[in-house]
Chain A
Amino acid sequence: MSTLRELKNRFAVVGVGNTSYGSFPDTDDYGLGAQAFRRALDDAGLDKRQIDGLLVCRVPYYARMGEVLGISPRWTITLPGHGRMSAMGIIEAMAALHAGLTNYVALIYTNVGRSRRVNYGGEENPNVWDPWGFTSPGAAHALMFRRHMALYGTTTRQLAEVSVAFRKHAAFNPDAVMKHPITIQDHEDSRPIALPLRLLDYCLINDGAVAMILTTAERAKDSKKPPVLISGVGAMESYARSSIPNFELNFWHDEVQAVASEVYGMAGVGPDDVDALMCYDNFSPTVLFALEGLGFCKQGEAGHFVEGGTLQLGGRLPTNTDGGHLSNSYMQGWALNVEAVRQVRGECGARQVPDCEVVQFIAATPCSRSIIYTRG
């Protein structure tokens, strides 16, 4: 039985692909998924007959996806359309590769949320708190952020730094949905949704798809582009408050700390070595919680940490260089993992972080996960 840390640098991402993001009522999950898959396959220089593993997330029916793509895998797994699933899926794929259950895994994520007018609240997501009018993941993050403000003096102007930085990056990403620059004052003046959160604290629900292809580092040596290695992974769940979905009274701090210990320990790096961070940002406060849990700053200090453009390209910690969920699109972590791969490859053009060797993905959620990607 091997330990997790022995899996360092044993598996690689060899192909990534994505669709544009927006409203595409003339296609469906499978059409979008096929497009992203084709691009990832081409990126990897593989033939589809080599794909013998299929992991799908938010795709309605895995078998129909396989039928549409004309593939016959020997390993399949389906994950629900929850944002926390992206790195969970990548880690599962890694484990399946390690076990020899598959040699080349295609991971396909699809979302048709915009054309189907998904809004994540009310009757769409029935909950025990409905009689009091409490609903939606955004409101859960608002509850957390209000508490963070009260405990640590964090301000909404500090929170605005997150949205402003990611919007700035989106201007350099042709795929991003929202590209016009915003200021801290724009954030302060934006429409209130569930105060203390406003429109510019919310992610962008869109149609789109993202695909990744993973294999062993050994097989990756033959791939078209230099492989990007998975150097570390970390995981910790927090289910004790799950009846308030997307909520944790202490901002998932202990769980993200545990994740940090695992992921940094396995990769043999620390926060100071991270060249770019890809941080799950369904709502802007999550970014502050993630920074604190990972140890980029102490708990309660993330508001100060992000002031003055820390998260912007050229800043101390370039974060969500594709615009993230707030300005690129809410591809539920998948597009952020793809951006991590592209940054390590040096493919990001105007938004490329110079000398980018270590990129970290983090999702502070009820299933917190982190992955560290490095150059092969």
Chain B
Amino acid sequence: MTTATYDKPLPRFDPFNRPFWQHAHEGKLAVQRCAGCGDRHFPPAPVCPQCLGDKQEWDVVSGNGTLMSWVTFHKAYWTGFAKDLPYDVCLVQLDEGPLLVSNLVGGAEGHVAVGDRVRVVFERVTDEITLPKFAPVKAAR
């Protein structure tokens, strides 16, 4: 799919989040880690919220996490999502700590439960952007 035909919102780059999207485009899930105290956090921030240190590194994480909750959208706030209705958005706690909002692949209602194990999958949506999404780890159920 090319950028020209992709009609959903794309990430807005800020001075801190570009490495997240570069990693994602290479099929890696990465979060910021403070070089000083080791705290991992997401979304990317200018300083470490624990020690206020400036030096932040990028840490490729396992991609494994726990499904904390999900919501099924029946309303399209962007026209680009209208054709996907209803679609599932999940809240995942990575094994490394940070909370991420993403999409649940494969349907939520009747298929998953809060507390299920999930794993990252990657969906290339434009020539530059790949969205990390999550799928249930079947073996765990």
Contact = CB atoms under 8 A, between A and B. Distances in A.
Interface of A: 119, 121-123, 126, 128-136, 139, 142-144, 146-147, 150-151, 191-197, 240-241, 243-244, 249
Given A126-B12, A130-B9, A131-B10, A195 B74 contact: yes
Contact of A131 (B11, B70, B114): B11
Contacts of A196: 71
B68 interface: yes
A239 B99 CA distance: 14
Contact of B102 (A121, A132, A136): A132
Interface in B84-131: 84, 86-87, 89, 91, 99, 101-103, 109, 113-115, 125, 129, 131
A133 B75 contact: no
A191 B86 CA distance: 12
18 contacts: A122-B78, A130-B9, A130-B12, A131-B129, A132-B103, A133-B9, A133-B84, A134-B71, A134-B101, A139-B71, A139-B89, A147-B68, A150-B114, A191-B74, A195-B86, A196-B71, A243-B43, A244-B91
Interface string B46-80: 00010000000000000000001111111101100
Nearest to B102: A132
B101 A123 contact: no
Closest A-B pairs by Cβ, 8 of them: A122-B77, A150-B114, A121-B77, A130-B9, A192-B74, A142-B71, A147-B69, A195-B72
A194 B74 contact: yes
Interface string B1-40: 0000000111110000100000000000000000000000
Main secondary structure of the interface of B (DSSP, over half): loop
Interface of B: 8-12, 17, 42-43, 49, 68-75, 77-78, 81, 84, 86-87, 89, 91, 99, 101-103, 109, 113-115, 125, 129, 131, 133
A102 to B, nearest CB: 36
A278 B75 CA distance: 30
A195 B71 contact: yes
A242 to B, nearest CB: 10
A295 B72 CA distance: 31
A105 to B, nearest CB: 35
